[in-house]
């Protein structure tokens, strides 16, 4: 391959200057395999060519001799063999053993949820350029530029200051670039260090699908206990997380699964245990919801089973167990609002649940081969990185002499609109037109040591840092204005770019104020630093106050099945969502809509398929079905829950990225509801995705 036409070099583990190690939380993942490969698609060598096609052609000159070892792809088998990526954890509250004895009803079952391909439109990639003195500048499509910088430094044996990572924006990420953008940036940088030339490394779609990790598949066992009033008094759950061949972010994802075991319900006796199982598949990774959806699917399945056995509606159990203010979460935090029941009530007020149920009943009685189903899906999602130290951010704000403003933060724009929110925050603090504000690229030399843009917290953490920096500069400007106007600085404010005295406009305008401040040698730059107050968590007791606040909401989903073919459509999704006091309702509603469709895809049509060797069969878009416009709900309504919003959210605007993904779970249960209408003998099975194929089989079993 080295001698092939247009090939510049071929790099392997032998070419690594520092550690052959890219594991983010646990050092268990080599950049290039040495001696053993653990999954199909694991990188072994990097071919560098003058052109992409020449490099790709040279692949065929490399022959690798493998001695086959045993392959495990089932997490339960891995667990039985003691193949865990790290030790199991258990969260509990109350005493489930005692509580189950007092239950009037106890049911148990198994739940399986599948993985999910991120399918960001822009595949993984990076472009690295040599600078003077061994320094390297890396453009990376990453959610975590600091993680990329740190890992390049480690693999290349350079100090972090030698590596500058710069990100303008990503063509989507969804968690897939929280950790798994790193390898490709490290490889490109390694080649730059070796060759002293710029190197670009971009995965094409099939390589991306085969080589990178996806949402974790889970297999779980549950036992649920209720009393006569249908209160859930006990819940016991064991999660087998399919972790893949290396830990990646699995420890944090498994932790969030444990946090969200009870979804939006108060359960006084709960025990949740999770195992992260090592299998021979590309390491599974972060994906919108980060282990939360998997947990919520299990509790919803448990409720569905109980409802079906008790011959009552699922929503009756859901409604009577919603969290209330002052309820205790199993991890020690106290619920600080009635948002869960408020969103349910508001949904009913706005969309009349029983009327919808009646309509569906009528439709079903009039149609033999078309059946409709309905489901309600409440959500509760904790906001903050569960690892407390990650909840910090910085922003660098400059006001230039002409009054224009430049902002750098640690936040990555990946289509979710975080840049717009940052600009809005700065414009609102200074009370200037938003056109005065520019967002710079995200660059590790301007804003250092940042957490990845993840956990729905990008706008919250970085926005607070922007807010703090802008306010410090504003204070200084107000002092300057007071001096210029010779008045008390307490009465001064800025309104629409005009300095006001006791709310009355003066002759002093923004541009003049900034210019005078500069001439007066006032500091017009600031670094804002924010660390979320209040939060803490003690892993030795698995108790604490890990989340700044929770996001709530309720969705009502209706579907229609064609009972001859098994195909289905989502008729409507109607939602009351708790945005707090949204700073940008258009962006936030867009996040809800996108997340819901993605959640529906996970629950219904997106199916990863592996052969017995762990080879991904669904490795292209002709084999992996993602929701398209026809899968999107025909009627889609999102109404904000009327609340003030919590103090700890930036300008009381709650985080929005991940929570609405979980509304998509409603589609699974709406489909089951419709299946039952056609075939009362259908026995509930909780194996997602509920593909048309499974629906068809269920309709005629
Ligand atoms: N990443 C992370 C996340 O490192 N910790 C988290 O708690 C988290 N939550 C959601 C998404 N990404
Ligand atoms: Mo994420 S799953 O918040 O990158």
Q: What DSSP character marks residue 125?
A: E
Helix (H, G, I), strand (E, B) or coil at 480: helix
367: Cβ–Cβ under 8 A, 6 or more apart, which residues?
Answer: none
Confidence of residue 37 (pLDDT cuts 50, 70, 90): very high
Percent of the chain having pLDDT more than 70?
A: 100
Q: Report which ligand 2 atom has the smallest distance to the Cα of 173.
A: 4
Spacing, Cα 149 to ligand 1 middle (Å): 19
> Annotated catalytic, 658?
yes
Which ligand gives the minimal distance to the CA of 385?
Answer: 1
**Inter-CA distances, 366 with 361, 369, 374, 558, 676, Å:** 9, 10, 17, 17, 16
- Please identify which residue in the block is written with the tokens 């004895």: 101
Ligand 2 — pocket residues by CB below 6 A?
A: 143, 175, 178, 286-288, 290, 454-455, 658
Q: How far is the CA of 661 from the centre of ligand 1 (A)?
A: 15
Alpha-carbon span 516 to 349, nearest angstrom: 56
Count CB neighbours of 131 within 10 A.
12
Phi, psi values for residue 430, rounded to 5°: -85, -10
The count of other CB atoms within 10 Å of the CB of residue 693 is 12
H or E element at residue 175: none
Query: Which helix (DSSP H) or strand (DSSP E) does residue 68 occupy?
Result: none
**Among candidates 315, 329, 222, which has minimal Cα distance to 266?**
329
Q: Which residues contact 679 (CB under 8 A, 6 or more apart)?
A: 698, 699, 700, 701
Q: Which of 118, 173, 252, 389 to mutate to test the pocket of ligand 1 (most atoms within 8 A of CB)?
A: 252
Ramachandran category for residue 551: left, alpha or beta (phi over 0 → left; psi -120 to 50 → alpha): beta
Distance 470 CA to ligand 1 centre (A): 27
For 264-285, what is the HEC assignment?
A: CECCCEEEEEEEEEECCCCCCC
pLDDT digits (tens, 9 = 90+) for 628-657: 999 999 999 999 999 989 999 999 999 999
Measured from the CA of 386, which atom of ligand 1 is nearest?
A: 7
* Phi and psi, residue 342, nearest 5°: -60, -40
Between the CA of 456 and the centroid of ligand 2 the distance, in Å, is: 7
Active-site pick, 164, 658, 693, 701: 658
* C-alpha–C-alpha distance, residues 591 and 556, integer Å: 17
Give the CA-trace dihedral at 588, 590, 596, 599, to 10 degrees. Answer: -90
pLDDT at 489: 85
Distance from residue 179's CA to the centre of ligand 1 (Å): 11
Give the residue, out of 256, 460, 547, with the most ligand 1 atoms within 8 A of its beta carbon, to mutate for a pocket test.
256
Q: Which of 689, 590, 701, 571 is nearest to 638 (CA)?
A: 590
Rounded to the nearest angstrom, the distance between the alpha carbon of 364 and the centre of ligand 2 is 40
pLDDT tier for residue 30 given thresholds of 50, 70 and 90:
very high
Residue located nearest, by CA, to atom 3 of ligand 1: 455
Q: In angstroms, rounded to a whole number, what is the distance separating the alpha carbons of residues 328 and 252? A: 22
Residues 127-169 pLDDT 10s: 999 999 999 999 999 999 999 999 999 999 999 999 999 999 9
Residue 30 near residue 12, CB atoms below 8 Å? no
Coil, strand or helix at 613: coil
Model pLDDT for residues 337-383, shown as the tens digit of each residue: 999 999 999 999 999 999 999 999 999 999 999 999 999 999 999 99
Distance of CA 355 to the CA centre of its chain: 34
Strand partners, 11: 46
Tell me which residues have their CB closer than 6 angstroms to ligand 1. 178, 252, 256, 286, 290, 385-387, 390, 454-455
Token duo for residue 485: 């106007």
Strand-pairing partners, residue 199, are 128
Chain mean pLDDT for the chain = 97
Residue 174 to residue 109: CA distance in whole angstroms: 31
Evaluate if residue 507 carries a pLDDT over 90: yes
Q: At what angle do helices 292-310 and 665-678 cross, to 10 degrees?
A: 30
Question: Which one, of 541, 654, 642, lies nearest residue 591 by Cα?
Answer: 654
- pTM, full prediction: 0.97
Q: Using CA atoms, how far apart are residues 636 and 374, in angstroms rounded to an integer?
A: 14
When pLDDT is cut at 50, 70 and 90, the band that residue 611 belongs to is: very high
Q: What is the mean pLDDT of residues 177-206?
A: 97
Contact 473, 400 (CB under 8 A): no
Instruction: Tell which atom from ligand 2 comes closest to the C-alpha of 286.
Output: 2
């Amino acid at each position: 391959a080295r001698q092939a036409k247009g090939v510049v070099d071929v790099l392997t583990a032998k070419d690594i200057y520092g550690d052959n190690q890219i594991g983010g939380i646990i050092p268990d993942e080599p950049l290039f395999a040495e001696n053993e490969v653990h999954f199909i698609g694991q990188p072994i060598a990097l071919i560098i060519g003058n052109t992409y096609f020449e490099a790709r052609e040279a692949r065929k000159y490399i022959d690798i001799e493998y001695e086959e070892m045993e392959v495990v792809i089932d997490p339960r088998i891995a667990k039985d063999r003691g193949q865990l990526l790290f030790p199991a954890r258990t969260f509990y509250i109350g005493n489930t053993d005692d509580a189950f004895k007092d239950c009037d009803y106890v049911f148990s079952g198994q739940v399986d949820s599948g993985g999910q391909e991120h399918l960001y439109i822009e595949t993984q990639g990076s472009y690295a350029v040599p600078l003077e003195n061994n320094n390297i500048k890396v453009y990376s499509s990453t959610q975590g530029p600091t993680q990329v910088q740190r890992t390049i430094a480690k693999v290349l044996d350079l100090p972090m200051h030698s590596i500058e990572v710069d990100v303008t924006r990503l063509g989507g990420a969804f968690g897939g670039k929280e950790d798994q953008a790193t390898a490709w940036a490290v490889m490109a940088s390694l080649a730059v260090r070796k060759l002293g030339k710029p190197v670009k490394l971009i995965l094409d779609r099939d390589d991306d699908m085969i080589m990178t990790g996806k949402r974790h598949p889970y297999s779980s066992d549950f036992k649920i206990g209720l009393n006569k009033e249908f209160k859930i008094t006990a819940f016991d759950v064991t999660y087998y997380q399919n972790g893949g061949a290396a830990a990646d972010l699995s420890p944090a994802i498994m932790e969030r699964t444990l946090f969200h075991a009870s979804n939006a319900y108060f359960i006084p006796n709960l025990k949740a245990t999770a195992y992260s199982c090592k299998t021979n598949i590309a390491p599974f990774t972060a994906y919108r919801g980060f282990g939360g959806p998997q947990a919520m699917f299990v509790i919803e399945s448990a409720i569905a089973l109980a409802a079906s056995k008790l011959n009552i509606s699922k929503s009756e159990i859901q409604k009577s167990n919603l969290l209330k203010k002052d309820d205790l979460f199993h991890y020690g935090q106290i619920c600080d609002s009635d948002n869960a029941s408020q969103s349910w009530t508001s949904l009913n007020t706005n969309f009349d649940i029983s009327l919808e149920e009646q309509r569906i009943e009528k439709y079903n009685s009039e149609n033999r081969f078309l059946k409709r189903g309905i489901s309600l899906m409440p959500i509760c999602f904790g906001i903050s990185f569960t690892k407390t130290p990650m909840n910090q951010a910085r922003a660098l704000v400059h006001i230039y002499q002409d009054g224009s403003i430049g902002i750098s933060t640690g936040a990555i724009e990946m289509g979710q609109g975080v840049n717009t929110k940052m600009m809005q925050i700065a414009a609102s603090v200074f009370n200037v037109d938003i056109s005065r504000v520019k967002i710079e690229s995200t660059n590790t030399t301007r804003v250092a040591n940042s957490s990845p843009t993840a956990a729905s917290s990008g706008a919250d953490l970085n926005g607070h840092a922007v807010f703090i920096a802008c306010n410090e500069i504003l204070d200084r400007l107000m002092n300057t204005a007071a001096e210029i106007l010779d008045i008390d600085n307490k009465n001064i404010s800025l309104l629409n770019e005009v300095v006001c005295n006791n709310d009355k406009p003066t002759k002093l305008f923004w541009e003049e104020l900034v210019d005078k401040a500069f001439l007066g040698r006032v500091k017009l730059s600031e670094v804002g630093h924010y660390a979320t107050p209040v939060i803490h968590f003690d892993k030795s007791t698995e108790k604490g106050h890990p989340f700044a606040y929770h996001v709530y909401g309720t969705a009502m989903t209706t579907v229609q099945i064609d009972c001859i073919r098994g195909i289905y459509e989502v008729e409507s999704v109607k939602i009351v969502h708790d945005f707090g006091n949204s700073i940008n309702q258009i962006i936030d509603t867009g996040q809800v809509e996108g997340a819901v469709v993605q959640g529906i895809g996970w629950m219904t049509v997106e199916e990863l398929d592996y052969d017995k060797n762990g080879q991904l069969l669904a490795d292209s878009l002709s084999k992996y079905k993602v929701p398209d416009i026809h899968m999107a709900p025909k009627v889609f309504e999102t109404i904000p829950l009327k609340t003030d919003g919590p103090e700890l959210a930036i300008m009381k605007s709650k985080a929005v990225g991940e929570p609405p993904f979980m509304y998509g779970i409603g589609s699974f249960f709406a489909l089951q509801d419709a299946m039952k209408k056609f075939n009362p003998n259908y026995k509930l099975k909780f194996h997602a995705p509920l593909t048309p194929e499974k629906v068809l089989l269920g309709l005629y079993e």
